[in-house]
Structure 1
Amino acid sequence: MKKLTTLFSICLLPIGLCAGAMAHAAEAALVSLDNPRIATGITIGDVLERRLVIEASPPYELSKSALPLKGERVDGIELVGVALQGEKAAGSQRYEVKLSYQVFAAASKPSVMRLPALTLALGGGDTPAEVNVPAWHFWSAPLAAGNIHTARSNAQPQRKPALLDTGPERLALALTVFLVGVVGLVYINADRRWLPWMGGSFAQAYRKLRKTPAQAGHQAQALGYVHQAFNQVHGSTLFRPQLGEFFAQHPQYQPLAKEIDSFFQHSESLLFTGENADSPALLKELQQLCRRLRDCERGVA
């Protein structure tokens, strides 16, 4: 009977070991492993990155001290970057590990190299738990077929950049382009009447509006500047019902038809009904409208 009990215990030993291994595996697992996308044509100096995700059951934790140390070098492959991030999931802890390796090994012909295998130990539990990360193999390509002496003998001198032609014709062309650009910017953005064709009706109104104080007593004056500009362009007093005729004669202002109609409607309310308005806001609105009308007047809108 004693012999049968001993034999039964021996038979149950592998089953116990398998159950322990399954429990050990359930405590921590490698759920994702991303290796570099390209495994060929890698040369000295290239940086290769690995990303692995580990999931652990409480109370097991992966500490930064369990990761390989930055600066470790194995077979010419140096670990140059280590990053660890953890986040809690439903009933487990998930860790994301990023490892950056740089190739420092040189070979005279294509050869197979590898990112080293890792064993990461997790702590916090009654029994040790660990995760195994397999090695990743890649082809390292030499920069030159041969040794350093072969590379030196085949090195080509650096090419100097081509010089710019600084002849009188090129210099005159560059100066002309520069002056045209400056005149164009002045023509579009200048407020003062520096050039003869910059003194249009809306340009003059815009200059006056910029000098108008933002006070309640100057509302009618500011509105009058804009109305005066419309009358000068139209050739006579322009009222709101005549806007269709105005746009037919001056189509360059058609893109602002909605804003012009709104101005006339607002002006009628302020001038004929005695309605009060926020003077600073009204003056700013008139300045913006007049500036856009000035752009249409100059043909740059």
Structure 2
Amino acid sequence: MKNMLQRLILTFLLSCVAPYCLALDSQTLPDVKAGIVHMTTKDPDKRVGYSIGDIVEREVILTIKAPYKLIETSLPIVGYEKRYRGKPIGVDLQAIAHSKQEYKDYTTHKIKLNYQIFVSTVVAKNIALGPEYLNLINTQDKKDIVKYRIPILNVSTSPLAIFGQVKVENNMSPFLPPPLLSAEKEYVRLKIALGILTLSLLALVYIVGQRAWLPRMGGRFATAYRAIKKLPDDDAGIKQAISNLHLAFNQTAGIAIFNDNLEDFLKQHPDFLPLKTEIQQFFGLSRQIYFEPDAVHGAGDAPMPWLLHFVRRCRDCERGLLPSPVMGGV
């Protein structure tokens, strides 16, 4: 009876001491050699301002080269309360999610850790989450067991209420910048407005421009318009303007254009159909200036302004635009 009682007492003592022995063995394992494990972490952007009940999420991605494998039983235990120098710090592991992908030469582990804050202080306080220790085993040598240390994540808790007199400038954290107003919508609107303005300016240049900056801007009638604008308002200037217009029509059609083949020209160049009557008036004016002084043309008593307005309308048709109004200014 006495021996049985001693055995029970010994068994009870071993069961109590075993977890501490295992923890001690885990802490005293040698560190894994450099180059075996590659780690990246996705830490929260927020590092300050946590209060009681808040969750701090952290993701650790480990790449472990063969022949080492993670001993999954060494993963952090949910509900374990973190301690510093044997004293609880008010943080425990609320949840853990682990997934892995195995390849020929390495294994990738994704470990998501959710820590929950259970402490409330009257002043801001720094809290260290971690470190966490993971055990690795060499599959080619079962006696080769090493540990890998996941580094600490430092966060800061804030009190729920302020006690006493507080100087704001002394309690401002350099880790948390002041919040900025988002101007993304305004930037999008500004870009759209600039795009519309640019298109409008291009359209304006295309309509009123006199140089060959864009396609169809350096046509025959655009050249004639620039030349006629420089001519004097006298008989010699009028004759030269008529000659320039005849040259523009002939170069556009590829043949000499007069009233008798005007219909063929308009079929080949339908953009000039709105100016059919004015083209006939131009040929009548040309006949009066060069051949028949008494010929009727309908171009008015001021041929030079009429010719300038006419060649401008021809230039609009040449560019594929609606010609400027008949009564518009020159």
TM-score normalized with structure 2 length: 0.39
Larger helix share, 1 or 2: 1
Structure label with greater radius of gyration: 2
